[in-house]
Structure 1
Amino acid sequence: MFFKLGNSIPARLIMSIPYRHYRAAVAEQAIIPNINDYSSNLNFDSLSAKSITSSLISMSNQKANRLFFDFELRSNVIERFKSLIQTATHNLEAKKQLHEILSMLYERRFQVPPIEKIGLGANYLLNDICFLLENHLLDHIDELVNDQVSKLEIPKTGKAYVQWIMNIIQRHLAAKHPYYNEFMLNKANKNDVKYWLAQESTLDQKFDDILALMQVGTSGPVKMEIASNYWDEMGNGEPLKTHTYLFELLLNELDVTSEYIRDNLLLTSLITGNISTCYVLNKNLFYQAIGYFGVTEYLAPIRFKNVVKALERNEISDAGKQYHKLHIWIDKIHGAAWFNNVVRKMIDKQPECGKEIIKGALVRLQTSVEHLNSFPSSTHIPLQTQTKIKI
């Protein structure tokens, strides 16, 4: 049933409707659906939450316009995802599906769509789903570190803060985990390195974009340090030296295909990848991101020294070794600069942000340990045998 425009819906509600879908609904007859009994004639009952997400992403503009006014169906979809979140608290397969969906939604934010797909997608509903899943992720981050953060005595000056946080990082298990210090250094064979690279792909393949997004809204020394880091990621303007290109050389040499990554990606890799993306897409998490990626930069050269040993032991080509050899010295520079040029100045200017920075740092440290602990002793153990996952 339809009724004439403006007769029953307040103007403020009409104005709040996304213009594209509103315009499509009224274009021919200047009418809009009666929201009390309108049905889009769409049905998602037989689909999994992941399949629903895929359908919403690829949905035609016409169907998205119809679904926009079908509030009952939209509410049912949201309830499906709330149910998935509840199940994921105690079911590993549901948790895996949840993070695969969140990864799918994030992936769209890092892609330029083909011209023929620019009008596709029920974005209003996808945004609601992403909001639910992000809140679930952030709730678990809070559970992981908030108690520890609440007990810390946080320094109020930049110099003291940097010394304090560096001491925490250096003493943490993540900085000396046996996966790198023993297994990667002395034992990892070519298949082990291949498997490890698949896990690294959730961050390394898009770190340049992460830095580009992170610098938006910053200024002064903070922007300059992120910009310097970004320019290094871009090979200082030389396409064949960009870090994503160098990383892909090693992926190609070891035949780490997208299919291999899909079939072997650990749940903890999905989780850490989603946390990284969540931090840069939400500016209210910016200070946590400073701590999180500061740890990432600091740990890279420590870990990659052992990775290079594994690459040499397995006779990887010089081209394949470039990425990790380069990051041994370049991230040593950026890691120090991140804390001295960014964190120190931020604390001196606004000491209150120290709590958020250490929270992000602890998230990176503790999720990294959980991730490394989840690696199977054999690279052929299937994903569902993982049991020790706290986030």
Structure 2
Amino acid sequence: MIPIQTYMYRRRRLLAQMQRGVAVIPTASEKLRNRDAHYPYRFDSDFYYLTGFREPDAVLVLIAAEDESASRQILFCRDKDPEREIWDGFRHGPQAAQEMFGFDAAHAISTLDALAVEFLADQPAVFHAMGQDPAWDQRIVGWINQVRGQIRKGVAAPTEIRDVRALVDEMRLIKDDYELAVMREAARISCQAHRRAMRAACPGKHEYEIEAELLHEFRRQGAQAPAYAPIVAGGTNACTLHYVDNHSLLQAGDLLLIDAGCEYDGYAADITRTFPVNGRFSGPQKAIYELVLAAQAAAIDAVQPGNSWDAPHQAALRVLIQGFIDLGLCHGSLDAVMESEAYKQFYMHRTGHWLGLDVHDAGEYKQAGQWRHLVPGMTLTVEPGCYIRPAEGVPAHFWDIGVRIEDDVAVTSAGHEILTQAAPKSIAEIEEWMQCTTITEK
């Protein structure tokens, strides 16, 4: 558990960056799935990052003053309601929430509209994620207009609406020690799930049966949910980057690509492993797999403080392109293939993304038009791949081979830490691990 003092510190940091003004940060709302059944609830990441509060129908209001001691941290949340709690579960209520989560004040969510107009009076700016939710945009503008209606009373309305995400995203980009500890646990659980899936896979099973093994292990180990819809793609399905049907029959001689990670206390893991359904790589499969593995190793080596965000991608790309040339998939010199982008027939995505509270986490990749530099605390995925669809001029023995290898990596002062090392990755590790038929592992 991340200490409440950490959330309070984050709010103070945001207030200091705001200087003057009011931030309004709502959490996610509950969503109907169909009729009166809801999707499983998941809080808004920015709201949770600043509060640690997991209930729906809640809003964080921060009032930044020139005198830091006059700044205010206020929570709006649901009232205590014993009758509703019988049906829907525990609610903190404003009083308990204020004490437990370290706010200066807390109010019933039903009072937000009236109090927001008071808070915005004589403030220069409102900080809000404009464009994210049209209903909230309208609500914010409505409050500002109500303040403007008091102009004859000498009350000034905010003249600017600033995107609060520009500030919070930069904060979220650098993980603290508590966040990294949670992410290590998400990674550990996800590695266990991949190990379980490898041992469960065999010809004649369906992709969804292997998906069930993943989901079982996530929950068995204490994760709250998958961080995203798992990809369990056998054979040619692995050549579809975001394949999520997971219904095909696994065939002997095919590879199985699994892209799956759990969410633990709000933080995501994101791992991809590719392995043979029958436990043994064929010659062509081994050639492609070793190429992607070498590309990933080069990319991980480039995850160093001071290197640009683009450095791991460029390192992986050069290894892949040379391999494509050596295997007869591309023709010409490395530089010529890179310039023509002929390699994109087999590798069409970038080599990673930020990772954290969101699987594609907050943070810009460029600053002032240039790739930003890596610094300790950043966490990212490293995931090169190769996807070979049947096509004229492509050697037939490579057809329908799809390989991606993905690990979660934290930048450290000394270089990097691979959070997901425990999921078997080398050919020898995978083939040895798959020889055992039991899937029960502690």
User: TM-score w.r.t. structure 1 length?
Assistant: 0.25
Q: Which has the larger radius of gyration?
A: 2
Query: Counting strand residues as a fraction of each chain, which structure ranks higher?
Result: 2
Q: Which has the higher helix share?
A: 1
